[in-house]
Structure 1
Amino acid sequence: MNAQLLAWPGQWSRQQRATATMATAGAALIALLWLMALPLSLAPEPIGSNAVLFAEGTLATVQLTLTAGLAGIVIGVLAALGRTSRIAPVRWFASLYVWVVRGTPLLVQILFVFLALPALVPGLQLEDFASACVALAFNVGAYNAEAIRSGLLAVPKGQAEAARSLGLSSWHTFIDVSFPQAFKVALPPLVNNTVALLKDSSLAYAIGVVELTNVGNRIQAATFLPLPTLATTALIYLTLTTVLTQISGAVERRYDVEGRQP
């Protein structure tokens, strides 16, 4: 058996400790989503009787964040490549996308996708959850694009020239040499964007998505008890962001983004 696996946790390498933290935080997130209704059901009213609603709203929030976050990374990569393209129309289109999205409120974008987009494209009527995912993905994608573009520009040109001199094609030079280094530089801001996305997903309530904020608003409107309801909602968000921050920090340490400790 590998001696590293038998080593005492205090003797693990930085990458091994980071991997263990990722696994622990991931398990904690799964347990939180699965078992949340149990401790909430023991809370005083109006929380206890609505524990299942809080759990369902939390699950919807996490689903929104994961779906839009993954799509936003793909959109960000494409937009960053467009921003650095030598083809002027592609560069202009990518720059226009980033300019418009970063310069308009997210709430307006969500309402636009849900209400205005079907008027522009007849027959394209997305459900509320899908509309929120699309708007959130394109919003975070614009911010991811700038992070990835800065990472691409940070890679020394000599790296690509050396790869080409070794006979690598342009595609393999980008995939094997340039992009891994750029992604490592862009990882911290990408992580911050994902954590912000978790909180920004609360704006999906404006189009009727039954996520955590919407659940809290409905319960406090029905019970006229805003303090316990909103405090519970805020506590759940705080727990989610804490777990997500732990996972993101472990990812950065796993790939040695912060540099090796002395």
Structure 2
Amino acid sequence: MILRNPLKLLFYLCLLIVIFLVGYKVYLNLFMKDFKGLHTEQVERIQRNIDPESPISFAVLGNINNSIGIFEERIVPELNASGIDFMVSAGNAVSGGGEDKYRALYGSLGHLDIPYLLTFGAHEYEDFGSFRFYDHFGPHFFSILAGNSRLIFLDSTGKTPWQWQIRWLNDLLAKDSSKARILFIGHPPMEPEADAPFDQRSDYLQPREFRSALMREIKRHGIDLVFSANLSL
């Protein structure tokens, strides 16, 4: 009897956890508001609010990781009060690719008064998150004109073949007449001069051929700025 009661209690505890998790998944999929193609709406807001010949002001955040205490409660109010045109996540806006993580991010982004754009990063990709990112936000790599600047977003996760992206980038910039070119890619194409603590080879843009090809195109096409996340510095 001494042994059976704790086991019985453990069984009911596990059963309760399973019921809670299943119920939470049902709640997410059936009762929470669905959202699709958010980048379309955000791009329209950006281009509607910024004159085509005007310079732009924007904030870049990396590794938001579904933060409530820092991002939602402290950074979002500052962004709303700053007077900037929009915000960009350079990658890892979610802490994982699960549906609950994407919906939590959607709730946090809903507190922003300004438009936003997300880079498809490592955390957005994991746990089958690439399908959710495409459904909720849009393509994994894309480009827009914001004022007189060209914003380019690339996929560094391996989901999209890098050769295809380099060809697309060349075709895009060969016809581009913007006054500034800004690139966002989740994995850094360069390593920092000072050693990053606990960094791994996989934290940087892979494979090496992609990294080399991208650096050539950055120089060839005069890309002015490159923003990445994926490192905790």
| TM-score, normalisation: structure 1 | 0.24
Larger radius of gyration: 1
Structure 1 or 2: more strand by fraction: 2
Whose helix proportion is higher, 1 or 2?
A: 1
Q: Which has the higher contact order (CA 8 A, sep 6+)?
A: 1
